[in-house]
C-alpha cells in the first residue's frame, strides 16, 4: 500500500499537479500458491487513486502456470505482459528506486492497459553452452483497457473500446558476465475506439457534406496496427545498477469517416539511461534521463501543422530519487524531475492554454509491504 503527493511548477501532469495533489494512493493484495511441484496459481486485486486515474478494486492479474521443463512453461489467465526490463514489476513500488519510472516506456497513464493481457503465454530458459543462456516469452491475447485510460477531446464521448488482439515476444540474453542482461521486446495490437461526437460537430460535418445524411455522430477510430519495439540493457555490479532502453512506437490510425479523419501514421521514439547506487543498507540514490519524440522525423518540432510550438515535439526529463527504507516493510521516497517539453502531456486541442516549456515536478511517497 502506498500514499504520496506531487506538485509541479507549471502544467498538469498525471493529475492537477500545478496546484499540488495528495491523490497518489495505490493498494494491492495478492496471493499465490504452489499447487504441485510444477503448477502454480496467483491473483492480485489492485486499486488506485492517482491524479486523474481512479480505479476501484479490480483483478490486476490472475493466472495458472505450469512448468513442463526448464525450457518450456505455460501460463493462462490474466497474465503480466513482459516488455522492457521492468514492466512485470510496474505494480511493485518496493522493487525499484524511482517513484515514476521513465514515462516514455513505463507510463502511469497506460498502466492498466499494458500491465497484463487476457490470454496465454509460453516461456522458458534455454542454455547456450559457454555463451550463457536465453530467457524467452511469447504471448497472445487481448488487452484490458479501462475507459479512463483514454483521453478524448472535449467535443467527443468515448462509448467503448474493443481490443481485437495483442501479441508479442521477449528474449533476454544472460552472457557469462555476472549482472549483465541484454534483450529485446516486441508488442503488436489492434484496437477499435467507439466514439460519439457532440451535436455541434455532427451538424458541422453534415453541413459540409463530409458525412452521409444518416450520420448520427457515431464513428470508430482504429489503431491497426499499433506496435512497440524495445531494445534493453541492464548491468548490476556491487552497489551500482545501470540500465538503458530504446523504443519505437508505430501506429496506423484510421476512422469510419476518412474524409474528416484521414488515415495517418505515426512513428515515435522513446529512450532513457538510468543509474542507481545503494549508499547504505537503508539509503539508495537513483537518477535517469528520459527523452520522448512523438514524431521521429521531426524531433525539433519544425512542422507547425503537427506541433503548435517546437516544445510540443519532445519531452526531456532529468529525474533524481532518494529512497530510505525504515525497515524491511516500510520505505519512503522523494523525487525531483526537471523537464523540458510537453510531448507527454494530455492537451485538449480546443483549449487556448499554452503549456510552459520548462517545468519541474516533485513527488514524495511512502509504501508499506507485508
Q: What is the pLDDT of residues 68-80, one digit of tens each?
A: 999 999 999 999 9
The model carries a pTM of 0.91
Per-residue burial over 25-36, b if 16 or more Cβ lie within 10 Å, else e, is: ebebeeeeeeee
Helices (H), the chain: 111-114, 199-207
Which domain covers residue 313, as residue numbers? 2-368
Query: Residue 150 has what pLDDT?
Result: 65
Q: Considering only CA atoms, which of 254, 344, 365, 330 is closest in space to residue 291?
A: 344
Higher pLDDT pick, 322 / 113:
322
pLDDT of residue 151 exceeding 80, the answer is no
pLDDT of residue 260 exceeding 80, the answer is yes
In CATH, what number is assigned to the domain containing residue 270?
2.40.160.10
pLDDT of residue 61 exceeding 60, the answer is yes
Query: What average pLDDT does range 317-324 have in this prediction?
Result: 98
Q: Record the cell numbers describing residue 306, joined without a space.
A: 503537427
Query: Considering its fold, how many domains does the chain have in total?
Result: 1
Burial of 54 (0-12, 13-18, 19+ CB in 10 A): middle
Rounded distance between C-alpha atoms, residue 273 and residue 289, angstroms: 6
| Helices first, then strands: H and E counts in the chain | 2, 16
pLDDT of residue 102 exceeding 90, the answer is yes
Per-residue pLDDT tens digits for 164-200: 999 999 999 999 999 999 999 999 999 999 999 889 9
Per-residue CA distances from 235 to 78, 191, 318 (Å): 30, 36, 21
Query: Residue 352 has what pLDDT?
Result: 56
pLDDT confidence tier of residue 36, bands split at 50, 70 and 90: very high
pLDDT of residue 284 exceeding 90, the answer is yes
| CB 79, CB 345: distance < 8 Å | no
Query: Residue 14 has what pLDDT?
Result: 86
pLDDT of residue 339 exceeding 80, the answer is yes
| CB 126, CB 71: distance < 8 Å | yes
Query: What average pLDDT does range 100-108 have in this prediction?
Result: 93
Query: Residue 122 has what pLDDT?
Result: 98
Q: Considering only CA atoms, which of 243, 248, 271 is closest in space to residue 103?
A: 271
Average pLDDT, the chain: 92
pLDDT confidence tier of residue 149, bands split at 50, 70 and 90: low
Amino acid at each position: 500500500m502506498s500514499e504520496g503527493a506531487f506538485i509541479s511548477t507549471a502544467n498538469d501532469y498525471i493529475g492537477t499537479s500545478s496546484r499540488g495533489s495528495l491523490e497518489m494512493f495505490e493498494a494491492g493484495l495478492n496471493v499465490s500458491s504452489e499447487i504441485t511441484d510444477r503448477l502454480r496459481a496467483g491473483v492480485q486485486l489492485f486499486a488506485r487513486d492517482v491524479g486523474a486515474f481512479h480505479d476501484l478494486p479490480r483483478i490486476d492479474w490472475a493466472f495458472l502456470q505450469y512448468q513442463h521443463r526448464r525450457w518450456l512453461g505455460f501460463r493462462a489467465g490474466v497474465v503480466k505482459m513482459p516488455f522492457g526490463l521492468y514492466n512485470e514489476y510496474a505494480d511493485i513500488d518496493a522493487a525499484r528506486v524511482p517513484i515514476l519510472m521513465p514515462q516514455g516506456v513505463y507510463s502511469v497513464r497506460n498502466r492498466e492497459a499494458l500491465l497484463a493481457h487476457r490470454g496465454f503465454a509460453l516461456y522458458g530458459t534455454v542454455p547456450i553452452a559457454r555463451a550463457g543462456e536465453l530467457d524467452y516469452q511469447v504471448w497472445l491475447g487481448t488487452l484490458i483497457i479501462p475507459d479512463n485510460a483514454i483521453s478524448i477531446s472535449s467535443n467527443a464521448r468515448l462509448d467503448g473500446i474493443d481490443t481485437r488482439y495483442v501479441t508479442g515476444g521477449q528474449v533476454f540474453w544472460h552472457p557469462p558476465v555476472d549482472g549483465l542482461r541484454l534483450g529485446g521486446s516486441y508488442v503488436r495490437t489492434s484496437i477499435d475506439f467507439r466514439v460519439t461526437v457532440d451535436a455541434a460537430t455532427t451538424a458541422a460535418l453534415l453541413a459540409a457534406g463530409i458525412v452521409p445524411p444518416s450520420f448520427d455522430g457515431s464513428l470508430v477510430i482504429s489503431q491497426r496496427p499499433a506496435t512497440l519495439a524495445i531494445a534493453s540493457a541492464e548491468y548490476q555490479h556491487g552497489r551500482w545498477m545501470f540500465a538503458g532502453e530504446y523504443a519505437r512506437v508505430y501506429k496506423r490510425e484510421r476512422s469510419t469517416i476518412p474524409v474528416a479523419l484521414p488515415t495517418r501514421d505515426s512513428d515515435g521514439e522513446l529512450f532513457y539511461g538510468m543509474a542507481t547506487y545503494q549508499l547504505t543498507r537503508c539509503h539508495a540514490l537513483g537518477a535517469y534521463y528520459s527523452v520522448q519524440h512523438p514524431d521521429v522525423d521531426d524531433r525539433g518540432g519544425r512542422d507547425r501543422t503537427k506541433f503548435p510550438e517546437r516544445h510540443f515535439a519532445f519531452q526531456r526529463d532529468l529525474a533524481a530519487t532518494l529512497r530510505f527504507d525504515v525497515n524491511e516493510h516500510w520505505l519512503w521516497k522523494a523525487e525531483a524531475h526537471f523537464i523540458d517539453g510537453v510531448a507527454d502531456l494530455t492537451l485538449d486541442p480546443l483549449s487556448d492554454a499554452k503549456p510552459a516549456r520548462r517545468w519541474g515536478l516533485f513527488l514524495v511517497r511512502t509504501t508499506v509491504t507485508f
